[in-house]
Structures are given as structure tokens and as C-alpha cells.
Amino acid sequence: MDIRTKNQSRDICDRSILITGGTGSFGKAFVRAVLDHCPKVKRLVVFSRDELKQFEMQQEFPADQYPALRFFIGDVRDERRLRRALEGIDTVVHAAALKQVPAAEYNPFEFIKTNIMGAQNLIEACMDMGVKRVVALSTDKAAAPINLYGATKLCSDKLFVAANNFRGERDLRFSVVRYGNVMGSRGSVIPFFMNKAKTGVLPITDPSMTRFNISLDDGVEMVLWALEQAVGGEIFVPKIPSYRITDVAEAVGPHCKHKVIGTRPGEKLHEEMITPSDSPNTVDLGPYFAILQAAGNVHDYLQRRRATAVDPDFFYNSGSNPDFLSIEQIRSLIRMHVDPQFEPV
């Protein structure tokens, strides 16, 4: 689904955009998408900590072809550096985060400093620097979290949503996008299985496990849509398919043995994106759901937008999702989004 209309693309081209975590999987895809649509975008700033990844991106996007692209070394933990980077910026996409679940359990306060304190630093800086639109990336693990990573992202989501309450008269909107596992991103199960398949054995945490699935391209489309459509305070959730972990294993290595190793600490059997407790605040926007700040906002939101209320007992998790990918669909998506030359082992 291509939701970037001509008017939307033109509006993006007229913006000065900063993306935190801009050298990560999402960041690179976002930069590529913006530059594909408007090579002469007004300004596009990649903000991240890793100078090597910035250097590598500079080779892919040379300055003589993309004069509006800038690279800014910094950490969201450093509010003064954020303020410097945000000079002249009107649009922010916040993708910077520490994400590995086991690492969060072992190094909890490091995740708190980046994912929570970093989020608040960005909010404060955006308030003071004249930014107009902010979209922050979340995760399915932030819904009813059982691990520290999910808890820090839930807290981050709450901070961005609540920031709309004290923006005053500023023309500033904060919103969040929440989606599931990104196909082919670093550390995700598909490239992990593709590498392990060479050994002839695929480790399965639990044969019943399911996960949501979204491509990087669809994640980028969603953020671009949210930048245009958000009124502020929403947590947007896409309608995306699920997969069974055993089907991913069969798609990647049909001749491999499966070794059940058990779930890791902080890992759910099925991922959630909307809990039953969220249903009074949730509306259906067609391609997406939106979780609003409070149930009292739903009626007004339905009047302003082409939306419908969800059922009172609605919830959205990967195990009960009516849309599941087949093994052949998984293989097709791997060729489309991960490796065009992929063949099952």
C-alpha cells in the first residue's frame, strides 16, 4: 500500500527533518525513502552515536548528489547536543533506542538512560527549538510489558503522548507508532535462522510462539503517514500479519532439524500491540488503529477523523490475529525484503 500521495511527498520535501538513530535499520530505510522521493529535500539530518556508520552512509549518499543531507554525531542522553542539532528543524522522527531484550535485563539503567531519559531530553529540546511534528518509534513489547526493554519503551510512549498536554500554544504535535518485528532487521529471527540453517539445526524457543511481521518499507510508510495525519497524542498500530516461528523455520530451512531451547527471560509466547485495557481508548482508522490518551477523547476523535470505535473487549495480539503468513508467503517476503537470492536450505 503506497500511502505517500503527491501532496504528502511535496510537503515532506519542504520540511527540515531530523532522525535520531538515523544509522540504524529503520533510519537508513527512512533516509533512503525520503531522498528517493525528493533528492532536494529542504534538509535531512542523521543524528546518531556511531561515526563509522555515519561514514558508511555518507558513501551511499554522497554530498554532491544529496546536498541537504547532514550527519550529526550525538547521543539522545545529551540534551545540549540535541538542542544544537535541532536548530532550524521542524520535523523529528525518533528512532534512537537500546533494543536487545537480554541486554536490557543485564544492564537495566543503561536502557533507562537512553530510552526514557533520552526521550524526555528530546521532548524538552523540541519544545524549546520550534519543532512542529514529532513521531517516535515504539514496539509491540511496550504493550503489557514483561521485560525491561518493553517497560522503558512504554514509559517513553507515555512521555511523548503526555507532552501534548503541556505544549501550550505551540504548533507542535507528538505521536507514536508501534509495530511488531521488522523483517530482516539486525538481530531479528529471519537473518538469525538464515545464518543458523548452514549448521543444519535451527533453535526454536517454543513451537507455539507467534510474532507480528512488518517490512522496513511499511514501517517507513507508516511514519510518513503519521507525520501528516496525527493530531497529537495517538499511538498508531498497523494492521499487519503474524507468523508462527515454526513456519519461519520451515520457510528458511525445510531440511533442518529443530532444537527446542525454551523461551528467553522476558520473552512472551505471543506479542501484543493492543491490550483489552486499551480498547475503550482505541479507534479503527482503516489501515491502522490509534490508541488515544483517554476514553473521553474517543468521541471527539471519531468526529474529526474517518474512524470507528472498536468493540469494548477488543485486543490485538499475534496469536489471535486472523491474518497469518503462509510458508510460501514468508519465503516470498524474504526474497523481497532480505535477500533476493534466497533459497531454502
What pLDDT does residue 224 have?
Answer: 95
Strand ranges, E, within the chain? 16-20, 43-48, 69-73, 91-94, 133-137, 173-177, 181-182, 201-204, 210-214, 235-238, 242-244, 257-260, 272-274, 282-284, 288-291, 308-309, 316-317
What pLDDT does residue 240 have?
Answer: 96
pTM of the model: 0.93
Per-residue pLDDT band at 266 (split at 50, 70, 90): confident
Per-residue pLDDT band at 6 (split at 50, 70, 90): very low
Identify the bridge partners of residue 201 per DSSP, sorted by sequence position.
257
Closest by CA position to 190, among listed 138, 247, 241: 247
Is the pLDDT at 64 greater than 60? The verdict is yes
C-alpha cell at 275: 491490550
Q: Phi/psi of residue 180, each to 5°? A: -85, -160
What pLDDT does residue 202 have?
Answer: 96
Residues 6+ apart with CB under 8 A from 305: 231, 283, 285
Residue in 99, 141, 153, 196 annotated catalytic: 141
Phi and psi based region of residue 177 (left: phi greater than 0; alpha: psi -120 to 50; beta: remaining): beta
Give CA separation, 119 vs 17, 97, 113, 127, 219, in Å.
Answer: 17, 9, 9, 12, 20
What pLDDT does residue 184 have?
Answer: 76
Q: From the CA atom positions of the chain, what is the Rg in Å?
A: 20
Identify the bridge partners of residue 288 per DSSP, sorted by sequence position.
238
Rounded distance, CA 78 to CA 232, Å? 25
Structure confidence by residue, pLDDT tens digits, 72-85 = 999 999 999 999 99
What single-letter DSSP state applies at residue 324? B
Asked if 28 is an active-site residue, the reply is no
User: Would you say 289 and 274 are in contact if contact means Cβ atoms under 8 Å apart?
Assistant: yes
What's the chain's average pLDDT? 92
User: Would you say 91 and 18 are in contact if contact means Cβ atoms under 8 Å apart?
Assistant: yes
Closest by CA position to 68, among listed 49, 42, 86, 107: 42
Is the pLDDT at 39 greater than 90? The verdict is no
Which of the following CATH numbers is that of domain 6-180+214-240+272-315: 3.30.200.20, 3.30.360.10, 3.40.50.720, 3.40.50.300?
Answer: 3.40.50.720
Structure confidence by residue, pLDDT tens digits, 296-325 = 678 888 888 889 999 999 999 999 999 999
Q: Count other C-beta atoms under 10 Å from residue 25's C-beta.
A: 17
